[in-house]
Chains A and B, each alone.
Chain A
Amino acid sequence: MWAAISKHADGINRERIALCDSEQSLTYAELANRVTAAASQLHQFGLPQRPCALLFTPDVETVVQYLACYCAKVPVLLLDPEVSDTNFAALQQRYRFAAVCRAAYWQILDRSASCTRPDLQLLLTTSGSTGAPKAVMLSNTNLVSNAHSIIEYLQLGADDVGISSMPLNYSFGMSLLHTHLVAGATFVLTAESFVSRKFWQLVEQYHVTSLSGVPFSFQMLKTMKFGQMALPSLRVLTQAGGRLPLELSKYFAALSAERGWRFYQMYGQTEAAPRIAYLPPEAQAEFGDCIGKAVPGGELLLRDISSEQVIERELKEGELCYRGPNVMLGYAMDASDLDCDSSIQELRTGDMAERLANGLYRITGRRSRFVKIRGKRMSLDHIEQMLQGQGISDVIVSGRDELLLIAITNDAAKTIAQHYLATLQLHPTLYQLLLCDELPRYSNNKANYPALIAMAAET
């Protein structure tokens, strides 16, 4: 990754702005000097190949330290800058970080931290704020190949300007940073959101050419009457992080056609560093409900869920699987996994899909027990286990995208559940607590999740 970025420091883009925030901006030449200096400090600390953590605030100083981790081959786990002390302590116990970078300053935590596998570069947590203890292990090859694939299909060039409209510790936000820097483009760093005036001032000031978001971001843009904004420099809109409701997809397709923007709906998973598929803008009008085709260099296939055989027939549902150079090394549950030698040839997405006659793929359902809320994956089993761990013996957790459902049987359980939900920082409209006399279960006592979803729809 660092080689793919630092090459711009010696070429025609050396004086181009690579990164800027409200305090400063760096050209590619300046960035290369800053990163090289920071990397030599990481060498002095003895951090190469030792697991580290980085609280990823969207500012130039932090991105310099982040890139120094690539330059010095320091494997790094990205964290929300607001991570609580309790959650950090739990992660530290699990992964035994050698050091942590907060506000761009390094603090050594464990001088005896052991070496990780040599190809491990990046660790990302998959489960939003639920803190499910599982990290995705990515190699430099995973990340560089995915950045090149994305640049190719989005046709990103050095004259593009992106902006951090999502947290950088989130795989989509991280990917925006990578693709712009590998393309020799400019990336604007801000923590502001679409509803803030400062965000739009930055878009205007730096002539931002591409905007990105999760489904909720696009709902926000529509509510804000995005179509009435001037945005003379805008060329590209990209959406990922869950399925965009068809009505929004049509709205943005029509608006983009009218304004001459290229609108891409994309599909991915953190496990694929993260991009797996995209819908070409020309297919948008007719096939807006599809995830499209595999990113360049990758391959999509469907497998029958009982026989595991590859499905060749059109319109036959199977589990969506993906092969490509961006498929992760594996999951790390604890420090010992960081030194394993696993590799994964084929990623099972947990989504069910079908292939159309024209080769485009369409998601038909989900096999795994997770929901996406505001673009973040939440494991229902993990939430269920957490609530059981806090003393609720009788609880069932289900839901759909943008709605978590928790069924309990008494007021004491309700109090515990409310307390737990507060730690997830979910808006009250994003969850429903159902107080039941008896939880919906099958005769074999297994949870009846469809019944719970039906009950919630009735209330």
Chain B
Amino acid sequence: MIDNKLKTIFATALGIDEAAISDELTYGSIPEWDSTAHMMLVAEIESQYDIMLDTDDIIDMSSPAKAQTIIAKYQD
């Protein structure tokens, strides 16, 4: 499961409750996670972790778990 910091980022970007953030959540699986929310998510992650995601990261970031893996890649 993802850490609390990322959970808060997801809840803010998608405009949903933290309780609704689960491993089953994927891009497009709920109406709230559309392309607008995806861009908010990218912006939040980039600013809060102080990293720059590349094109592949952004289009691969289709679930909270994937996002966690992508962020970890930059923190090694």
Query: Interface with B: A148-156, A223-231, A388-396, A450-458, which one?
Result: A223-231
Query: Interface with A: B2-10, B34-42, B68-76, which one?
Result: B34-42
Select one of B42, B55, B60 contacting A228, CB under 8 A.
B55
From A198, which residue of chain B is reached at the shortest CB distance? B59
Query: Chain B 2-39, CB within 8 Å of chain A: the 1/0 string?
Result: 00000000000001000000000001100100111111
Query: Does B55 lie within 8 Å of A224, measured CB to CB?
Result: yes
Query: Does B42 lie within 8 Å of A197, measured CB to CB?
Result: no
A248 in contact (CB, < 8 A)? no
Select one of B31, B39, B54 contacting A220, CB under 8 A.
B39
Query: Chain A 201-241, CB within 8 Å of chain B: the 1/0 string?
Result: 00000000000000010011001111011000000000000
Given A223-B42, A427-B40, A428-B15; A193-B35 close (CB under 8 Å):
yes
Query: Does A196 lie within 8 Å of B27, measured CB to CB?
Result: yes
Of residues 46 to 76 in B, which have CB atoms within 8 Å of A's CB atoms? 54-55, 58-60
Query: Does A195 lie within 8 Å of B58, measured CB to CB?
Result: yes
Residues from chain B with a CB closer than 8 A to the CB of A224 are 55, 58-59
Query: Does B39 lie within 8 Å of A229, measured CB to CB?
Result: no
CA A195 to CA B35, docked complex, whole Å: 6
Number of residues from A at the complex interface, CB < 8 A: 21
Residues from chain A with a CB closer than 8 A to the CB of B59 are 195-197, 200, 224
CA A428 to CA B14, docked complex, whole Å: 9
Query: Does B35 lie within 8 Å of A220, measured CB to CB?
Result: yes
A459 in contact (CB, < 8 A)? no
Given A223-B43, A427-B15, A428-B15; A195-B38 close (CB under 8 Å):
yes
Number of residues from B at the complex interface, CB < 8 A: 18
Residues from chain B with a CB closer than 8 A to the CB of A427 are 15, 34, 36-37, 40
Residues from chain B with a CB closer than 8 A to the CB of A106 are none
Residues from chain B with a CB closer than 8 A to the CB of A216 are 36, 39
Residues from chain A with a CB closer than 8 A to the CB of B27 are 195-196
Residues from chain B with a CB closer than 8 A to the CB of A225 are 54-55, 58
Interface centre among B27, B38, B43 (most CB of A within 10 A): B38
Residues from chain B with a CB closer than 8 A to the CB of A195 are 27, 35, 38-39, 58-59
Residues from chain A with a CB closer than 8 A to the CB of B28 are 196
Residues from chain B with a CB closer than 8 A to the CB of A44 are none
CA A425 to CA B40, docked complex, whole Å: 15
Residues from chain A with a CB closer than 8 A to the CB of B40 are 427, 429
Query: Does B58 lie within 8 Å of A223, measured CB to CB?
Result: yes
Residues from chain A with a CB closer than 8 A to the CB of B34 are 193, 427
A374 in contact (CB, < 8 A)? yes
CA A197 to CA B38, docked complex, whole Å: 13
Min C-beta distance of A403 to chain B, whole Å: 13
Select one of A196, A226, A374, A425 contacting B55, CB under 8 A.
A226
Residues from chain B with a CB closer than 8 A to the CB of A194 are 35
Min C-beta distance of A196 to chain B, whole Å: 6
Query: Chain A 404-443, CB within 8 Å of chain B: the 1/0 string?
Result: 0000000000000000000001011110000000000000
CA A427 to CA B35, docked complex, whole Å: 10
Residues from chain A with a CB closer than 8 A to the CB of B60 are 197
Residues from chain A with a CB closer than 8 A to the CB of B55 are 224-226, 228-229
CA A428 to CA B54, docked complex, whole Å: 26
Interface centre among B37, B43, B59 (most CB of A within 10 A): B59
CA A229 to CA B54, docked complex, whole Å: 10
From A192, which residue of chain B is reached at the shortest CB distance? B28
Min C-beta distance of B60 to chain A, whole Å: 7
Residues from chain A with a CB closer than 8 A to the CB of B58 are 195, 223-225
Min C-beta distance of B17 to chain A, whole Å: 13
Residues from chain B with a CB closer than 8 A to the CB of A228 are 54-55
Query: Does A374 lie within 8 Å of B39, measured CB to CB?
Result: no
Residues from chain A with a CB closer than 8 A to the CB of B54 are 225, 228
CA A429 to CA B28, docked complex, whole Å: 19
CA A197 to CA B60, docked complex, whole Å: 7
Min C-beta distance of A229 to chain B, whole Å: 6
Residues from chain A with a CB closer than 8 A to the CB of B31 are 425
The 5 tightest CB contacts between A and B, nearest first, are: A428-B15, A193-B35, A427-B36, A197-B59, A195-B38
Other A-B contacts than A195-B38, A223-B39, A223-B58, 9 sampled, CB-CB below 8 A, are A194-B35, A195-B39, A195-B59, A196-B28, A197-B59, A216-B36, A224-B58, A228-B54, A427-B40
Query: Can you list 21 pairs linking A and B with CB atoms under 8 Å apart?
Result: A193-B34, A193-B35, A194-B35, A195-B38, A195-B58, A195-B59, A196-B28, A197-B59, A197-B60, A220-B39, A223-B39, A223-B58, A224-B58, A224-B59, A225-B54, A225-B58, A226-B55, A229-B55, A427-B15, A427-B37, A427-B40
